[in-house]
Amino acid sequence: MEFIEQLKLKASQNKKRIVLPEGLEERTLKAADVILGEGFAEIILIGNPEKVKTEAGKMGLQNIDKATVVDPENHDKLDSYTDLMVEIRKSKGLTKEDALQLIKNPLFLAVMMIKAGDADGEVAGADNATGDVLRPAFQYVKTAPGISVVSGAFIMILKDKEFGEDGMMVFADCAVHPNPTAEELAEIAVSTGQTTRAIAGFEPKIAMLSFSTKGSAKHEMVDKVVKATELAKQQAPDMKIEGELQSDAAIIPAIGQKKAPGSEIAGQANVLVFPTLETGNIAYKLVQRMGHAEAIGPILQGMAAPINDLSRGCSVSDIVNLVAITANQAAGTV
């Protein structure tokens, strides 16, 4: 069975409520219809109920009446959500008037539904930029206990089955945090290991990537990766983590043996942790385009509740797939 089909099956065994704040967006409505038809998650759409019904009717969608539709202009939780917003952000000077303005924005309403326990996860971004999706999540849902930084992982399904776990690898951070410190990079590595176990479903062998292998180059950027590797090993002694490694030493057995003799991970890595967002984002897109790999994600990791951001160029099936991943995260696996 295909990877995504397995995730849908797991999600359908413990159905979670996923809020889609872009409830009038065409691909989102079509994706909601598919998900409700397949029945692997409950869907909450944010949007004017009449407009949702009209749009769904125009598109001939059959299952949208199974969704819960929340009108951002008229719902009975306005007071409780805005009180909660003020409580969370009063140290930042947020007033009730500010909160009443913000809550009109479906991206803020969605995170407050999660915070108040009225939804289990969110998928957005078909119609909004990454920063606009992430900021409300960072401000109100915040990071998971013990985590200070949210990052984004991609599950890469490669044509060449020699690499990773039968052609499957996990790359991070490819989506969120531009220039992590050594401490933050260590957290990203551990979060990525957890995502690998919970979503990709295999035991991580994590390579902390650099332009140096085991001291072959000296530079402060190399020092950062060496320190991050040490910290990550301390934080997750049960995970296999190795650094610093160049990418060829990480994934090609003969080169791994030569450059890092005796390493359990060099040449065998199935998780690549990049030193910066620039390297991670560039690398995943090159592998996706030039290597014709499937890139599933970004899967946001380290957030207190599952919230995932789509690319604005996403397809209906990208949305369906990310809801399947989010529902699995919400089921408590990450």
Q: Please report how close the Cβ of residue 276 comes to ligand ACO at its closest, in angstroms.
A: 11
Complex with ligand ACO: residue 200 or 299, whichever CB lies closer = 299
Complex with ligand ACO: residue 4 or 61, whichever CB lies closer = 4
Complex with ligand ACO: residue 24 or 316, whichever CB lies closer = 316
Q: How far apart are CA 206 and CA 192, in angstroms?
A: 9
Q: Please report how close the Cβ of residue 281 comes to ligand ACO at its closest, in angstroms.
A: 5
CB-based contacts of 23: which residues, under 8 Å, 6+ apart?
A: 29, 32, 45, 46, 47, 52, 69, 106
Complex with ligand ACO: residue 14 or 130, whichever CB lies closer = 130
Residue nearest to ligand ACO according to CB distances in the complex: 138
Q: How far apart are CA 222 and CA 216, in angstroms?
A: 10
Binding site for ligand ACO (CB under 6 A): 130-131, 134-135, 138-139, 143, 149-150, 175-178, 281, 298, 311
Q: In Å, how far from its chain's centre is CA 314? A: 15
Identify any residues that bridge with 241 across adjacent strands, giving them in sequence order: 206
Q: Please report how close the Cβ of residue 257 comes to ligand ACO at its closest, in angstroms.
A: 34
Complex with ligand ACO: residue 275 or 298, whichever CB lies closer = 298
Work out the burial of residue 105: count CB atoms within 10 Å of its CB; fewer than 13 is exposed, 13-18 middle, 19 or more buried: middle
Handedness of CA 24, 19, 91, 142 (dihedral sign): negative
Q: Please report how close the Cβ of residue 39 comes to ligand ACO at its closest, in angstroms.
A: 29
Answer yes or no: are the C-beta atoms of 302 and 187 closer than 8 Å: yes
Q: Please report how close the Cβ of residue 142 comes to ligand ACO at its closest, in angstroms.
A: 7
Q: Please report how close the Cβ of residue 125 comes to ligand ACO at its closest, in angstroms.
A: 9
Answer yes or no: are the C-beta atoms of 52 and 65 closer than 8 Å: no
Complex with ligand ACO: residue 128 or 210, whichever CB lies closer = 128
